[in-house]
């Protein structure tokens, strides 16, 4: 079904090594005109999408996207979580089928793009979750599915030779025979790219590749991406980190709520303008005013809490009516810290005080009672909702005993749920519909209703707005602010700095399992937080002991 001829295997490995002799001009003289949508525009773009839409069940996530990617060009796609970035590139990579629209490769229309088909054209997708076979060696992974063979047998020597070259090229200092599961995440990422090079990718799609990397590792990655682009590959780069996008990309496309908002040359757009396009409104409208009646009383104090492998000696306090942000890179230990406090995960050492009284660490049901605290999990579908249950059953699952010790008073349950629906403006078209059929925003509101129904004094929101539309986000921000204004103490764990900065009265930064900073007032700024989060700035925090 694919009309394009495959690159021959011989060709495949020879070219990829020589970056000095690119087949394409290193940087296209004229970056693509965003208005020229069709594949007919010359030169033929490596990949192009025409009028692509996608709906999951009833939820439309992409609406008529037309976009093309030129050889040698680094094209960044930015947008908030839930804007449709990942869905869009998955369609390009043939991993999911668009509801409507067409995909073109070098000007040829591709019918029924499949992952295999697109891979054979050299379109490689590097996931947020890396896609390597853990139990195979580095070498086996680099050539997985594209093994070099001599007759019926694998040509081990040739593959080794080429494998070594691509590893050197991406600057990965790993043993070809090491098992992938023994590598660090950053190394795995390099292996993915080495694989793309070895298999002579024509287009490379990277989905938030730096979310798990340190600054230095990220810099190295950027270099490799640039080199790879210069060799003529089209690079599609998804990120919501604007600084790195500005630095790396030739061209930036902004998606919002599934719509293509704008495509601009990187030099012609300022970060603040990107933010405005991403969010679709000014920040003042998105976040409620920060009103904080200073109350120095600590509701919750945590001392020297450790969770094996995730958190080392964390100490902090949470005040009454406060919104306390927890910033840091993914894997810094923020989620695990709070899972430890709530008894959802076993803790190796540490003490917890509620209103000055020591509380024994135990399991979640006990923590719920003793701390009067709830935890909103970051993973809505994996931890927050039983997706096959209806909204009401999900709503009442936490603290079901309030409707009866043994028998569930279903009338009281129904009444309470109706109230929650009204308060949070949850749209539930059919009482018995499983929540999997609700939109992301409504699902998140059901989880919120679920945790708030227990009338907690302390609420931990872990990534409260992941994967939902901007309108619902603003609603959730106002809800959190209202909770704090009622005198409840809120913790907001978030990887979206905008959210942390816009919402929180105080921000704690974690890095590599430790609390490294506590910021207040004007110190709550993107640069400052990122410096601590990445380790560029190491303060003597009052919490170090």
What tokens does 433 get? 């519909």
Range 457-476, binding other proteins (CB under 8 A): 469-472, 474
In the complex, minimum distance from the CB of residue 239 to other proteins, in angstroms, rounded to a whole number: 23
Of 105-113, 124-132, 142-150, 390-398: span binding other proteins (CB under 8 A): 390-398
Q: Which of 254, 266, 325 is nearest to 515 (CA)?
A: 325
In the complex, minimum distance from the CB of residue 472 to other proteins, in angstroms, rounded to a whole number: 7
Contact 467, 383 (CB under 8 A): no
3-state secondary structure of 192: helix
Of 3-11, 111-119, 165-173, 384-392: span binding other proteins (CB under 8 A): 384-392
State how far the Cα of 35 lies from the Cα of 399, in Å rounded to an integer.
54
Helix locations, 199-314, DSSP H? 215-230, 242-248, 271-279, 283-286
Q: Which of 39, 41, 66, 40 is nearest to 52 (CA)?
A: 66
> Parallel, antiparallel, or unpaired: how do β-strands 74-78 and 251-256 relate?
parallel
Query: Is residue 411 at the binding interface for other proteins, with CB under 8 A as the rule?
Result: no
Q: Which residue lies nearer to other proteins by CB, 151 or 382? A: 382
3-state secondary structure of 134: coil
Instruction: Classify residue 540 as left (phi > 0), alpha (psi -120 to 50) or beta.
Output: beta
Strand partners, 150: 153
In the complex, minimum distance from the CB of residue 316 to other proteins, in angstroms, rounded to a whole number: 22
Q: Which residue lies nearer to other proteins by CB, 31 or 464? A: 464
Q: Binder to other proteins among 151, 152, 382, 542 (CB under 8 A)?
A: 382
Query: Could you give phi then psi for residue 372, rounded to 5 degrees?
Result: 55, 45
In the complex, minimum distance from the CB of residue 256 to other proteins, in angstroms, rounded to a whole number: 9
State how far the Cα of 432 lies from the Cα of 185, in Å rounded to an integer.
42
Q: Binder to other proteins among 20, 21, 57, 545 (CB under 8 A)?
A: 57
In the complex, minimum distance from the CB of residue 433 to other proteins, in angstroms, rounded to a whole number: 6
* Cis previous bond, 72, omega within 30: no
Q: Binder to other proteins among 397, 412, 523, 536 (CB under 8 A)?
A: 397
Place of tokens 């003529």: 232
Give the contacts of 107 (CB within 8 A, at least 6 positions apart).
Answer: 39, 40, 44, 45, 48
Site string for other proteins, 260-289 (x = CB under 8 A): ------------------------------
> Parallel, antiparallel, or unpaired: how do β-strands 458-462 and 489-493 relate?
parallel
Q: Binder to other proteins among 368, 420, 491, 524 (CB under 8 A)?
A: 368
Q: Binder to other proteins among 38, 309, 365, 487 (CB under 8 A)?
A: 365
In the complex, minimum distance from the CB of residue 211 to other proteins, in angstroms, rounded to a whole number: 23
Site string for other proteins, 60-99 (x = CB under 8 A): x---------------------------------------
Mind spelling out the 3-state secondary structure of 285-303? HHCCCCCCCCCCCEEEEEE
Exposure string (b/e) for 215-232, b if CB count within 10 Å is 16 or more? bebbebbbebbebbbbbb
State how far the Cα of 209 lies from the Cα of 54, in Å rounded to an integer.
24
- 207: part of which helix (H) or strand (E)? strand 203-207
Contact 143, 198 (CB under 8 A): yes
Range 321-360, binding other proteins (CB under 8 A): 344
In the complex, minimum distance from the CB of residue 164 to other proteins, in angstroms, rounded to a whole number: 42
Of 176-184, 233-241, 438-446, 520-528: span binding other proteins (CB under 8 A): 438-446
Q: Binder to other proteins among 129, 296, 430, 486 (CB under 8 A)?
A: 430
Of 135-143, 256-264, 354-362, 510-518: span binding other proteins (CB under 8 A): 256-264
In the complex, minimum distance from the CB of residue 118 to other proteins, in angstroms, rounded to a whole number: 23
In the complex, minimum distance from the CB of residue 405 to other proteins, in angstroms, rounded to a whole number: 7
Of 172-180, 325-333, 351-359, 389-397: span binding other proteins (CB under 8 A): 389-397
Q: Which residue lies nearer to other proteins by CB, 392 or 489? A: 392
Q: Binder to other proteins among 401, 455, 520, 544 (CB under 8 A)?
A: 401
Of 135-143, 178-186, 361-369, 490-498: span binding other proteins (CB under 8 A): 361-369
Please report, for residues 14, 115, 162, 479, the alpha-carbon distance to residue 158 in angstroms, rounded to integers and kept in the order given: 11, 27, 6, 61
In the complex, minimum distance from the CB of residue 445 to other proteins, in angstroms, rounded to a whole number: 11
In the complex, minimum distance from the CB of residue 340 to other proteins, in angstroms, rounded to a whole number: 14
In the complex, minimum distance from the CB of residue 207 to other proteins, in angstroms, rounded to a whole number: 24
Contact 180, 134 (CB under 8 A): yes
State how far the Cα of 457 lies from the Cα of 441, in Å rounded to an integer.
24
The conformation of residue 187, written as its DSSP 8-state character, comes to: H
Using CB under 8 A as the criterion, which residues of the chain lie in contact with other proteins when the complex forms? 57-60, 257-259, 344, 363-365, 368, 375, 377, 382-389, 393, 397-401, 404-408, 410, 427, 429-430, 433, 437, 439, 441-442, 450, 469-472, 474
């Amino acid at each position: 079904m694919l009309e394009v001829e495959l690159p021959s295997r011989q060709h495949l490995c020879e070219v990829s090594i020589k970056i000095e002799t690119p087949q394409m001009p290193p940087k296209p003289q004229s970056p693509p005109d965003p208005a020229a949508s069709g594949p007919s525009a010359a030169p033929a773009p490596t990949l192009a999408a025409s009028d692509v839409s996608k709906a999951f069940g009833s939820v439309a996530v992409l609406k008529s996207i037309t976009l093309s990617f030129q050889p040698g060009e680094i094209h960044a796609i930015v947008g908030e979580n839930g804007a449709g970035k990942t869905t869009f590139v998955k369609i390009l990579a043939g991993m999911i089928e668009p509801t409507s629209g067409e995909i073109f490769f070098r000007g040829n229309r591709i019918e029924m793009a499949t992952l295999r088909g697109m891979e054979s054209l050299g379109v490689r997708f590097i996931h947020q979750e890396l896609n390597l076979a853990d139990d195979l060696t580095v070498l086996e992974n680099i050539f997985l599915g594209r093994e070099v063979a001599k007759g019926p047998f694998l040509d081990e020597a040739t593959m080794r030779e080429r494998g070594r070259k691509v590893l050197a090229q991406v600057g990965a200092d790993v043993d070809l025979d090491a098992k992938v599961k023994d590598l660090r995440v950053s190394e795995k990422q390099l292996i993915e790219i080495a694989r793309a090079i070895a298999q002579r990718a024509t287009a490379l799609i990277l989905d938030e590749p730096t979310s798990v990397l340190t600054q230095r590792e990220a810099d190295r990655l950027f270099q490799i991406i640039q080199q790879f682009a210069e060799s003529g590959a089209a690079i599609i780069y998804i990120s919501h980190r604007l600084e790195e996008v500005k630095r790396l990309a030739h061209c930036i496309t902004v998606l919002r709520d599934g719509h293509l908002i704008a495509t601009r040359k990187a030099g012609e757009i300022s970060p603040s303008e990107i933010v405005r396009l991403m969010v679709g409104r000014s920040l003042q409208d998105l976040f409620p005013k920060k009103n904080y009646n200073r109350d120095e009383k600590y509701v919750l104090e945590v001392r020297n809490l450790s969770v094996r492998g995730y958190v080392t000696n964390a100490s902090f306090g949470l005040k009454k009516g406060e919104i306390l942000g927890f910033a840091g890179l993914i894997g810094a230990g923020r989620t695990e810290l709070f899972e430890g406090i709530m008894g959802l995960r076993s803790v190796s050492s540490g003490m917890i005080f509620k209103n000055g009284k020591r509380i024994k660490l135990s399991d979640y049901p006990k923590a719920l009672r003793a701390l009067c605290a709830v935890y909103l999990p970051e993973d809505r579908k994996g931890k927050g909702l039983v997706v096959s249950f209806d909204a009401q059953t999900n709503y009442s699952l936490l603290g079901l005993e309030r409707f009866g010790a043994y028998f569930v008073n279903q009338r009281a349950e129904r009444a309470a749920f109706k109230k929650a629906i009204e308060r949070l403006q949850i749209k539930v078209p059919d009482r018995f519909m499983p929540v999997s059929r609700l939109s992301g925003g409504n699902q998140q509101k059901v989880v919120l209703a679920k945790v708030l129904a227990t009338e907690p004094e302390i609420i931990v929101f872990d990534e409260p707005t992941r994967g939902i539309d901007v309108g619902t986000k603003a609603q959730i921000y106002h809800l959190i602010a209202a909770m704090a204004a009622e005198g409840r103490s809120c913790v907001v764990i978030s990887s979206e700095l905008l959210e942390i900065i816009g919402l929180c009265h105080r921000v704690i930064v974690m890095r590599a399992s430790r609390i490294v900073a506590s910021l207040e007032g004007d110190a709550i700024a993107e640069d400052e937080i990122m410096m601590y989060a990445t380790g560029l700035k190491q303060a003597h925090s009052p919490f170090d002991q």
